[in-house]
């Protein structure tokens, strides 16, 4: 499913891969101690260089925790996002599940009855502190197993300099204005008026943003897939006819454009508009791009909801350390630790108290607009064990819906039938 954010930029992929190979070798805690309990935590790396690798955060946090809880040791292994889900899957398969995992998805493990529920491993104040939309997204059959760890929302980024050169006074507030602005940008020589990354890297995110903008989404109120609903077909037909067809999405076909490339082009000043997450701010700043951010508009005004993404904590039952896990997770989720992690990586806190603290602090800065979207954001249908396979199908296929001569209804219909079949098989 992917992380809330993977930092992109030239040269960063190799760094992340190197971190994935080495970070897991480092651990804090003292597994050889005979007294007390040692908890094993596997976590994902959010850093984009050795200087801000997540291992540093977890080592520091674990050292502080151990100092005040002498009976509990924490052994941490941190892996890159390319490796961490597979590492945990392999551990579980060989009967060696960690006590706690901080990864991208929880539903398969919940379906296999391998996880503690939230009320098993969180105090009542900590459990009640999650933002409601995120708490609900962690539920399977109304029982919460996925514990949101950090979150992100998406906004429409636009290049203020390019807008000014094209004589555009402000960001679009409707689809029609977005199309007209893209046409003006193209007329003034902008290489990519609107970047539409529907390539295999993270097409499921771009797709969901547009489906929500058009008034629907991936599932209905009872959790059934609705990929080929009338609203969704209308949305992709509009994209094909109004952005892609007139050449307003640049020289690379959307089906071959990945998010990393789109972000890099925005940072180079070649993109007028695109949907982005908070870390794009730093990437653009580093390149001197002056930009603004607003919610993605809908057909007649503001979209009904923004897209939210969460990464998840989960506690495995295999080791049987329920009480110790509860003590540690209550510490992980206190406001000081939550805010420290989120500020380090430009992410959003998942608890009400930390969100309020960030919103009221000057340090929230430009994260404020993303934070404002979070309480009402809609997330991927991560509670469905079928979602991983459906997401993979979307990544492979959805870009073809806007190709020349394509029929969006047929592409979405095929995706819907496949999704229903996968869901029924589960």
Q: Residue 155 in contact with residue 296, Cβ under 8 Å?
A: yes
Is the Cα dihedral 67, 69, 73, 74 positive or negative? negative
Instruction: Report residue 406's pLDDT band, with 50, 70 and 90 as the boundaries.
Output: very high
| Mean per-residue pLDDT of the chain | 90
Instruction: Report residue 82's pLDDT band, with 50, 70 and 90 as the boundaries.
Output: confident
Do domains 12-152+310-379 and 155-305+386-425 share one topology? The answer is: yes
Residue among 112, 140, 58 at smallest CA distance from 318: 112
Q: Report the C-alpha gap between 208 and 421 in whole angstroms.
A: 20
Instruction: Report residue 366's pLDDT band, with 50, 70 and 90 as the boundaries.
Output: confident
Note the pLDDT of residue 7: 43
What count of residues does the chain have? 426
Taking each continuous run of H as one helix and of E as one strand, the counts in the chain are 19, 12
Among the listed ranges 71-75, 99-103, 321-325, 367-371, which one has the minimum average pLDDT value?
367-371
Note the pLDDT of residue 5: 53
Boundaries of every domain in the chain: 12-152+310-379, 155-305+386-425
Q: Which of residues 1 and 161 earns the better pLDDT score?
A: 161
Q: What are phi and psi of 320, to 5 degrees?
A: 75, 20
Note the pLDDT of residue 304: 78
Residue among 81, 79, 69, 6 at smallest CA distance from 38: 69
Among the listed ranges 296-310, 328-342, 351-365, which one has the minimum average pLDDT value?
351-365
Q: Report the C-alpha gap between 407 and 389 in whole angstroms.
A: 23
Q: Residue 336 in contact with residue 314, Cβ under 8 Å?
A: no
22: pLDDT strictly greater than 80: no
Domain 12-152+310-379 fold is: D-Maltodextrin-Binding Protein; domain 2 (3.40.190)
Q: 155-305+386-425 belongs to which homologous superfamily?
A: Periplasmic binding protein-like II (3.40.190.10)
The predicted model gives 270-276 an average pLDDT of: 97
Note the pLDDT of residue 49: 80
Instruction: Report residue 23's pLDDT band, with 50, 70 and 90 as the boundaries.
Output: very low
Q: Which of residues 29 and 185 earns the better pLDDT score?
A: 185
Contacts for 55 with CB less than 8 Å, ≥ 6 apart: 19, 23, 26, 45, 76, 78
362: pLDDT strictly greater than 70: no
Measured CA to CA in angstroms, residue 254 lies from 212, 262, 297 at distances of 19, 10, 20
Sheet holding 291-294, edge to edge: 192-194, 271-276, 155-159, 291-294
- CB hemisphere CA count around 321 (13 angstroms): 22
Q: Contacts by 82-91 with C-beta closer than 8 Å and gap 24+?
A: 82/16, 82/17, 82/20, 83/20, 84/20, 84/42, 84/43, 84/44, 84/45, 87/24, 87/42, 88/42, 91/42
Coil, helix or strand at residue 349? coil
Q: Residue 161 in contact with residue 295, Cβ under 8 Å?
A: no
31: pLDDT strictly greater than 70: no
233: pLDDT strictly greater than 50: yes
Note the pLDDT of residue 35: 66
Note the pLDDT of residue 30: 41
17: pLDDT strictly greater than 80: no
Among the listed ranges 2-6, 99-103, 350-354, which one has the minimum average pLDDT value?
2-6
- Please give the DSSP secondary-structure letter assigned to residue 295: P
Note the pLDDT of residue 4: 63
């Amino acid at each position: 499913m992917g992380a809330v954010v993977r930092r992109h930029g030239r040269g960063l992929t190799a760094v992340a891969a190197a971190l994935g190979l080495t970070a897991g070798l480092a651990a804090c805690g003292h597994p050889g101690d005979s007294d007390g309990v040692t908890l094993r935590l596997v976590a994902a790396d959010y850093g984009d260089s050795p200087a801000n690798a997540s291992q540093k955060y977890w080592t520091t946090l674990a050292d502080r925790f151990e100092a005040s809880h002498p009976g509990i040791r924490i052994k941490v292994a941190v892996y890159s996002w390319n490796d961490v889900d597979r590492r945990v899957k392999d551990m579980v398969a060989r009967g060696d599940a960690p006590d706690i995992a901080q990864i991208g998805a929880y539903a398969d493990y919940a379906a296999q009855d391998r996880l503690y529920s939230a009320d098993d491993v969180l105090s009542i104040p900590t459990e009640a502190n999650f933002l409601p939309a995120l708490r609900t997204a962690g539920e399977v059959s109304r029982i919460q197993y996925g514990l949101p760890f950090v979150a992100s929302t998406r906004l429409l980024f636009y290049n203020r300099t390019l807008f000014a050169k094209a004589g555009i006074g402000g960001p679009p507030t409707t689809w029609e204005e977005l199309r007209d602005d893209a046409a003006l940008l193209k007329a003034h020589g902008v290489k990519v008026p609107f970047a539409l990354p529907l390539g295999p890297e993270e097409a499921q995110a771009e797709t969901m943003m547009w489906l929500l903008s058009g008034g629907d989404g991936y599932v209905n109120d009872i959790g059934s897939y609705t990929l080929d609903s009338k609203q969704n077909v209308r949305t992709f037909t509009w994209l094909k006819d109004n952005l892609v067809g007139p050449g307003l999405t640049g020289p690379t076909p959307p089906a071959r454009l990945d998010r990393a490339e789109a972000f890099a082009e925005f940072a180079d000043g070649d993109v007028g508009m695109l949907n982005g997450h908070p870390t794009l701010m730093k990437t653009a700043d580093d390149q001197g791009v002056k930009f603004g951010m607003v919610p993605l508009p809908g057909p007649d005004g503001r979209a009904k909801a923004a897209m939210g993404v969460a990464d998840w904590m989960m506690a495995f039952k295999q080791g049987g350390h329920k009480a110790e896990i509860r003590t540690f997770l209550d510490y992980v989720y206190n406001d000081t630790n939550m805010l420290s992690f989120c500020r380090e990586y430009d992410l959003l806190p998942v608890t009400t108290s930390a969100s309020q603290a960030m919103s009221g602090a000057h340090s929230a800065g430009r994260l404020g607009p993303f934070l404002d979207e979070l309480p009402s954001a809609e997330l991927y249908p991560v509670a469905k064990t079928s979602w991983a396979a459906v997401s993979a199908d979307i990544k492979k296929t959805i870009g073809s819906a806007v190709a020349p001569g394509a029929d969006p209804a047929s592409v979405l219909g095929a995706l819907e039938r496949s999704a229903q079949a996968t869901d029924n098989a589960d």
